[in-house]
A = this chain, B = another copy of it.
């Protein structure tokens, strides 16, 4: 893929703070973004009130007019969406399908990018014996517009003993090829140049066949990239006993969801995991968000860790063609993490201030 021209001048940024801790962590991400952005880049922000609160108050999830407005922006920063667990007024899937996944699908975010790196100072639940094997630094390229996430399927005779419910995983050569190609291009740019396909080809033979075939075909165009394959179940073992083996992973939407939460867990937790929902063809704005949810149990207390949101801001700057500004944020987070101690209880804005100060220099 060609080098990305750096955006300069005004950047129209859609901000979706969302629910729970979403607004708190988004505020810190914006704080750091402003400090890190090059002088000639000005964010023109529009804040969109979307999420559980709006839905509960108005019944609206993502009005078409709002979607079209967002489509006209240059990038999106999202906090987190989701209401209280088991709220009877908030059926499962309403917000996920209607807002988060709708944005990913409508804006063709076919590369869901999730870097995993164990920063010094971050607490991993893995033993010293595993961590001692070397650095953990890989990125998952999760397909974002197909697979079991399409909402295909349905249910018959709902609520009766004869109910049948189906979920259809849809895998097209079109969709699989473009994400695999993106993953190879990313692998080529990294020092180790290694790409692992993750699937379950021995059981899901139809979907597996198209992933496998295109992986092999595209590999021939990237002879400098080493390739590897793992079944999703084996990845569970590798990620906990030998995570160092991975460099870039490419996988489908559901396997990617699962793998990236495990990846986040072993590299210091979901409080640090950033993600980009990227439209590499730039036909619509890409969206950047922490992997964590809205954590309603700790909302409003300013105790959430904003690091994942801040790192998502770095991915946003990188996507806009400012890798140096992104690297400044990463370095600031790294330095901040190295000085964290387990008994230190900093409030959300304090963490944002500390990282912003380091970025400022």
Residues of A within 8 A of B (CB): 92-93, 96-97, 101, 123-130, 148-149, 151-155, 158-174, 177, 200-210, 212-213, 232-234, 236-237, 240-241, 254, 257-258, 260-262, 264-266, 269-270
Across the interface, A161 reaches (CB within 8 A) one of B127, B155, B158, B173, namely B173
Across the interface, A127 reaches (CB within 8 A) one of B101, B125, B163, B166, namely B125
Chain B residues with CB under 8 A of A163: 172-173, 210
Across the interface, A210 reaches (CB within 8 A) one of B155, B168, B177, B258, namely B155
Q: Name 22 interchain pairs, CB-CB below 8 A, sorted by A.
A: A92-B201, A92-B212, A97-B205, A125-B241, A126-B240, A127-B127, A127-B128, A148-B204, A152-B166, A153-B207, A155-B210, A161-B173, A161-B174, A161-B177, A162-B173, A162-B174, A166-B169, A166-B171, A167-B171, A234-B261, A236-B262, A240-B266
CA distance A254 to B147 in the complex (A): 14
CA distance A152 to B203 in the complex (A): 11
CA distance A157 to B207 in the complex (A): 13
Chain B residues with CB under 8 A of A209: 92, 155, 158, 165
Across the interface, A166 reaches (CB within 8 A) one of B207, B232, B265, namely B207
Inter-chain contact B92/A208, CB cutoff 8 Å: yes
Inter-chain contact A160/B173, CB cutoff 8 Å: yes
CA distance A148 to B208 in the complex (A): 13
CA distance A173 to B161 in the complex (A): 5
Across the interface, A206 reaches (CB within 8 A) one of B96, B149, B165, namely B165
The 6 closest A-B pairs by CB, nearest first: A236-B262, A93-B205, A233-B261, A163-B173, A236-B261, A165-B206
CA distance A28 to B111 in the complex (A): 48
CA distance A128 to B127 in the complex (A): 7
Query: A155-B206, A201-B92 known; A168 and B165 CB under 8 Å?
Result: no
CA distance A104 to B320 in the complex (A): 51
Inter-chain contact B258/A237, CB cutoff 8 Å: no
Inter-chain contact A236/B207, CB cutoff 8 Å: no
Query: A96-B203, A205-B97 known; A240 and B213 CB under 8 Å?
Result: no
CA distance A261 to B162 in the complex (A): 32
Inter-chain contact A237/B254, CB cutoff 8 Å: no
Measured between C-beta atoms, what is the minimum distance from A191 to chain B in Å? 26
- Given contact pairs A92-B205, A125-B130, enumerate 11 new A-B contacts (beta carbons under 8 Å): A125-B240, A125-B241, A126-B240, A153-B207, A154-B206, A161-B173, A164-B171, A166-B171, A232-B257, A232-B258, A237-B269
Name, among A128, A172, A201, A260, the residue most crowded by chain B CB atoms within 10 Å (CB to CB). A172
Across the interface, A202 reaches (CB within 8 A) one of B93, B127, B171, B269, namely B93
Measured between C-beta atoms, what is the minimum distance from A270 to chain B in Å? 6
Across the interface, A167 reaches (CB within 8 A) one of B101, B169, B261, B264, namely B169
CA distance A152 to B236 in the complex (A): 26
Measured between C-beta atoms, what is the minimum distance from A351 to chain B in Å? 21
A157 to chain B: closest residue by CB: B173
Inter-chain contact B166/A203, CB cutoff 8 Å: no
Measured between C-beta atoms, what is the minimum distance from A96 to chain B in Å? 4
Inter-chain contact A210/B170, CB cutoff 8 Å: no
Across the interface, A170 reaches (CB within 8 A) one of B164, B207, B258, namely B164
